[in-house]
Structure 1
Amino acid sequence: MASSSLAPPPGLRRRRNRARLRTAGFLSPWLIGFSVFFAYPLIATVYFSFMHYNQIEEPDFVGLRNWKYVLTQMPLFGPALWNTLWLVVVMVALRIVFGLGIGLLVTKIKSATGFFRTAFYLPYLAPPVAATVAFVFLLNPGTGPVNGILGALGIPAPAWFNDPGWAKPSLVMLSLWGIGDLMVIFMAALLDVPKEQYEAAELDGAGAWRKFRYVTWPSITPIVMFAVVTGVVQTMQYYTQALVAGKLASGVSVGPGSVVQPGYPEHSTLTVPQLVYSLGFQNFNTGAACVLSLVLFVIAMAVTTLLMRKRAGLLPAEDRSV
């Protein structure tokens, strides 16, 4: 009797059920997308990492053999991981600095702002493959115009994508050429800073650096955090530009039927996503490819979690956790 007296009336239960169904209906697109494009692939990747599977025969359970092979026996895992982390640190940092610097420059220009904004943004619109082909042509050590100009000026010309020491810096230069996406994001953040704060800083005698340090930076730190996190995630998946640049520099034409081991020259442009593709779709070693994918996923999650922590130093002092 007591339990029935505490039960909600039937009308209230029906309203609650309708509210739950309505909420589930609104969430269903996200739930379906999350399940199909993230949860299921992640579970399948974990499953196949313990299997020997060549995409033709039935999977065969091998335990930790794939993990042992990738982490202790694969000779290219170390160079690929090093190249990926190097690009994450150097490329993301320089893209933030250059994107913010160009955003500041364009916002300070008094005339022809639209022209400069368009000029800096247009390279970003170029397809990655086409942009890489053009960039490799410009930096060709034998026929490229860049080395021709450097030679005319008496400056030693590097081999760029054909030199293991210059290959990764050349990829960074390619990414800086297409800096338009970050420029637009930073411009929007800079234009949103209240002008009254700049006026108050000028009344206090603050110069350009102090205004940037105490007015601009605290206002745009959330945007900087967003740019850093998304840049790290994108660079951890860096694939197309490095693969195309390596193929072109090695003399292999880009097109159907062209199969070449990635990483030219001397594995200096080899990244973990390239190694995943090579193992999984060229050598049909799905188990090892899944292990590499999980390692990359764990590293990306760890770096992102570290950056998202308030004590990472990108947030204003008053917002940091103790």
Structure 2
Amino acid sequence: MTTSTAAPPPPPAARAATPPEPPSAGRRRQRKGSMRRREAITGLLFVSPWILGFLVFTLGAMVYSLVISFSRYQLATDTARPAGLANYEALITDPKIAIALGNTLYYAVLAVPLEIALALGLALLLNSVRRGAGFFRTVFYLPKMTPTVATASVFLLLLNGSTGAINRGLAAIGIDGPDWLLDPAWVKPSIVLMTVWGVAGTMVIFLAALQNVPKELHEAASIDGAGAWRRFWHVTLPLISPAVLFNVLVLTIAAFQIFDQAFLLFHRTTGTGSSDASLFYAIYLFEQAFRQFNFGFAAAMAWLLFVIILVISIIQMRVGNRFVYYEGGDR
């Protein structure tokens, strides 16, 4: 009987020896690293004025306002006494807070869709212009360049109930115009009219988005028999949906911070208009801070507004991202 002996396993394959790195490659890598550091330092130096301004005037002011929102701070006496949650409890008990929030929400619901529709319509109109496009874009953008004080002065004349140009135009066609500046039911629509006058900034964003829509898609849809409305609904609107969401977010934030138009039309002088109908949240915050000098309560109001805008923005982002088309495919 013969016994077989197992053959020894073959020796492991010898690994290929890695050639040593030449000194020139190491020096190039060091130069690239130092160049990146210099570029980073240079970039930080260029943006350092903005960073310093943000830390001092934005973040620092926010932190300070949060601190004084828990205190009774009167500017006249320059004293701050701890108040705990008293200012936030006053937000619940003050009836004017509910009125101001209601007016602001009513204005936002009325103004934002109208601004979006008007800006998109103007952008579509300007996008279709071939001759004199630059001239028409400049003309449509001029109202945005007009100072708000000048615009308010014009609208005070236009919206005058007895001698205003708008009511005179309505009377010419047999319509009895409302008392825009005195009737509480027409106070907020009058402010919306003044707001949409400066809709050119939103229009420019829509125009830029429309010019990035590939013409080949419109041509293909037209060959397939799609009309103008179907091409807009199924081609144009999905491709500009990121711009729509951005404008909705920005306009909503601006609507909840409405101040200039309402202040110039109704609160610049006492006794003008209906105080409750034109009492927006930012107006009431201004009155508490700079007329009543109740900075603690005003700071609490500011933080409540911050939370409201934050919640609404998150909801809009969550809902809007379901309908927004991104070219990369990610939502």
Q: 1:311 to 1:220 in 2, by over 3 A?
A: closer
Task: Give, in whole Å, the separation in 1 of the partners of 2:267 and 2:88.
Answer: 29
Shift of 1:32: 2.1
Aligned CA RMSD, in angstroms, stands at 2.5
2:296 match: 287
* Higher Rg of the two aligned structures: 2
1:62 match: 83
CA contact (8 A) 2:69 2:299 kept: yes
Task: Give, in whole Å, the separation in 1 of the partners of 2:92 and 2:252.
Answer: 23
Shift of 1:178: 1.7
1:83-94 matches, cutoff 5 A: 83-94=103-114
1:224 match: 244
Q: 1:166 to 1:320 in 2, by over 3 A?
A: farther
1:128 match: 148
Residue 309 (str. 1) matches residue 293 (str. 2): no
What secondary structure does 1:52 align onto? strand
Q: Deviations over 1:178-214 (max 9, x none)?
A: 2211222211211121111111111111111111122
How many positions carry a matched residue from both structures? 295
Residue 174 (str. 1) matches residue 161 (str. 2): no
Q: Deviations over 1:261-311 (max 9, x none)?
A: 8x9314111111111110011001111101110011111111122222265
Q: Which runs of 5+ in 2 are unaligned?
A: 1-29
Task: Give, in whole Å, the separation in 1 of the partners of 2:182 and 2:131.
Answer: 41
Residue 273 (str. 1) matches residue 282 (str. 2): yes
- Equivalent residue for 1:96, pick from 116, 121, 127: 116
Residue 159 (str. 1) matches residue 159 (str. 2): no
CA contact (8 A) 1:121 1:180 kept: yes
Q: Which consecutive aligned stretches of 4+ in structure 1 deviate over 6 angstroms post-superposition?
A: none
TM-score (norm 1): 0.84
Task: Give, in whole Å, the separation in 1 of the partners of 2:61 and 2:91.
Answer: 20
Shift of 1:84: 1.3
Q: Deviations over 1:228-264 (max 9, x none)?
A: 111122222211110111147xxx3xxxxxxx48x93
Task: Give, in whole Å, the separation in 1 of the partners of 2:326 and 2:210.
Answer: 20
1:299 match: 308
Letter of the structure 2 residue corresponding to residue 199 of structure 1? E
Q: 1:310 to 1:199 in 2, by over 3 A?
A: same
1:240 match: 260
**Percent identity of paired positions between Structure 1 and Structure 2:** 38
Residue 190 (str. 1) matches residue 190 (str. 2): no
What secondary structure does 2:240 align onto? helix
Shift of 1:53: 0.9
Shift of 1:314: 4.1
Task: Give, in whole Å, the separation in 2 of the partners of 1:34 and 1:26.
Answer: 14
Shift of 1:224: 1.2
- Equivalent residue for 1:106, pick from 126, 132, 155: 126
Letter of the structure 2 residue corresponding to residue 215 of structure 1? V
Task: Give, in whole Å, the separation in 1 of the partners of 2:110 and 2:170.
Answer: 25
What secondary structure does 1:159 align onto? coil
What secondary structure does 1:160 align onto? coil
Shift of 1:226: 1.6
CA contact (8 A) 1:224 1:314 kept: no
Residue 33 (str. 1) matches residue 53 (str. 2): yes
Shift of 1:320: 7.2
CA contact (8 A) 1:123 1:177 kept: yes
What secondary structure does 1:156 align onto? coil
What secondary structure does 1:309 align onto? helix
Shift of 1:92: 1.4
CA contact (8 A) 2:242 2:326 kept: no
Bigger proportion of residues as helix:
1
- Equivalent residue for 2:63, pick from 38, 43, 49: 43
2:14 match: none
Task: Identify which range, 308-317 or 232-241, moves more after superposition.
Answer: 308-317
CA contact (8 A) 2:245 2:320 kept: no
